[in-house]
Amino acid sequence: MVEAAIDYEIGDIKVPKQMESAAAPSSVKEDAPAAEDSQGGAEITQLRRALTEMRTEVGTIRGYLERAKADAEEVSLPAGKREALRFLRERGIREEHARELCGWVDGLTDIPRAMLNKVAVRKGGWNACKVVMLIGPTGVGKTTTIAKLAAATRTGLRAAIVSLDNYRIGALEQIRIYSKIMGVPLEIAADAQRVKACVERHTDKDVVFIDTTGRNPLSAASLSELSPVYEA
């Protein structure tokens, strides 16, 4: 693109009156669309605000209807199942899981048995499962669960813990405190080869628990990262 212009120096050349008169209407024309754009922008903003309020109201109404439906279904349940459902809800169990469990129980005392029925256990007990590796997203309680399992083994089994969770802040300190209190040996491993070496150092133990870094077990990419550890 080539541009050409005349540089009018002050006091040298006067701008023709035709150019001055032509410039005046153009400024008026430019101001009008600006005002229209401003007005249109305000209308769009109001419309968006109205739509947001409508979505909020619809969501609120939907929540009321879902709760009313859930309450109606709860009333139709036997007393024992209704008590179990409320018990599970108060402890943050997802609604679909709570209702599934309630389909298998007659009261509160049946809940542990119903939950255990959903846990697949390899036949043969500890002897068939020398190493136990816990996987799951960050924050679901892998480290705490390992501490509880290791504490449970103190009744007759010897245990050791191998931790790979060196990414989460405070994770190693947490498991160190647990292992020290329980008197269970702890190993820190950074990769699959070190995990294998750690497990081999505790062949005299009845079970070795492996605490992994937070990974989504439903993601193929995440599982591929843990595959070398599992193979080791």
Between vectors from CA 95 to CA 94 and to CA 99, what angle results, nearest 5°? 120
Res 34: pLDDT: 55
**Is 19 among the domain residues?**
no
Total structural domains in the chain?
Answer: 1
**Is 167 among the domain residues?**
yes
The CATH number of whichever domain residue 205 belongs to comes to 3.40.50.300
**Is 116 among the domain residues?**
no
Rounded average pLDDT per 10-residue block, the chain, 232 residues: 57 49 48 59 85 89 78 77 89 87 90 84 60 85 87 80 76 83 87 84 88 81 80 77
**Is 222 among the domain residues?**
yes
**Is 81 among the domain residues?**
no
Res 33: pLDDT: 54
The whole domain housing 225 covers 122-231
Sheet bearing 159-163, strands edge to edge: 131-134, 207-211, 159-163, 186-188
**Is 148 among the domain residues?**
yes
**Is 204 among the domain residues?**
yes
**Is 150 among the domain residues?**
yes
Q: What is the pTM of this model?
A: 0.48
Which of 149, 152, 148, 151 is closest to 131 using CA atoms? 149
Res 28: pLDDT: 44
